[in-house]
Amino acid sequence: MLNVERGGSAYGARLITDQPIRNGEVIYTITGHRVVHTATYQTVQIGIDTHIEELGVLAYMNHSCQPNTIIDTKNLTVVAIRDIMPNEELSFFYPSTEWEMDRPFICLCGASQCVRLVAGARYLSIDTLERYFINEHIRDLAVEALDKARIAPDAVVRQSVGVERSTHA
């Protein structure tokens, strides 16, 4: 069973399991949620412009840069990505679902590879994102952002060619 422990962490509350969970086990299936089109600090993003709220105990699952679960937004499940002991806190990597967060924060997870500023995937490098399970809508948004970034250097080259021409004229 999953329990909410209030005042249990730097973030105010945390979600803990009272039973051992095996790597790969589906811990929770999201049901009874509501679909919205704006991110709030209580929503989880499940598509390019789709977010869900009213998530029950999941609302208390904190971020970690070394998480023990993933939220699979295609199947709407929470899955263990390692064995979890009783009384351990459950966590997931917020940028694996969130492109741009409503309330960014400084992470205190203590992991050696902590990303520090948790503001959504758009603020992380591809190298950092590659270390994690990332949902498809985040991959799509990252590819889109890279495509846009590729246009920028061309614009700079065209501009400098223009300058050269005017110099030689």
Site mask, Zn ion, residues 66-85, x = CB under 5 A?
--------------------
- Reference 43, options 20, 69, 73, 22; nearest CA is 73
**Nearer Cβ to Zn ion, position 65 or 80?**
65
How many alpha carbons lie under 13 Å from residue 81 in its C-beta half-sphere? Answer: 17
Any idea which residue has 């694996």 for tokens? 96
Asked if residue 107 binds Zn ion (CB under 5 A), the reply is yes
The verdict on 119 binding Zn ion (CB under 5 A) reads: no
Candidates 109, 124, 129, 141: give the one binding Zn ion (CB under 5 A): 109
Spatial contact of 133 and 94, defined as CB atoms under 8 Å apart:
no
Q: How far is the CB of 42 from Zn ion (least distance, A)?
A: 20
Letter string b/e over residues 38-61, b meaning 16 or more CB atoms within 10 A of that residue's CB: ebeeebbbbeeeebbeebeebebb
Give the nearest distance from C-beta 70 to Zn ion in angstroms.
16
| The one-letter amino acid at 70 | I
Q: Locate 158 and state its tokens.
A: 């065209």
Residue 124 binds to Zn ion (criterion: CB under 5 A): no
Interaction between residue 114 and Zn ion (CB under 5 A): yes
Q: Is residue 123 near Zn ion by the rule CB under 5 A?
A: no
Please state, in angstroms and rounded to a whole number, the distance separating the CA atoms of residues 63 and 114: 11
CB of 22 to Zn ion, least distance (A): 25
Residues 38-67 that bind Zn ion (CB under 5 A): 65
Stretch that binds Zn ion, among 76-84, 100-108, 135-143, 157-165 (CB under 5 A): 100-108
Element holding 98 (H helix, E strand): none
Nearer to Zn ion, 93 or 99 (CB): 93
Residues that bind Zn ion (CB under 5 A): 65, 107, 109, 114
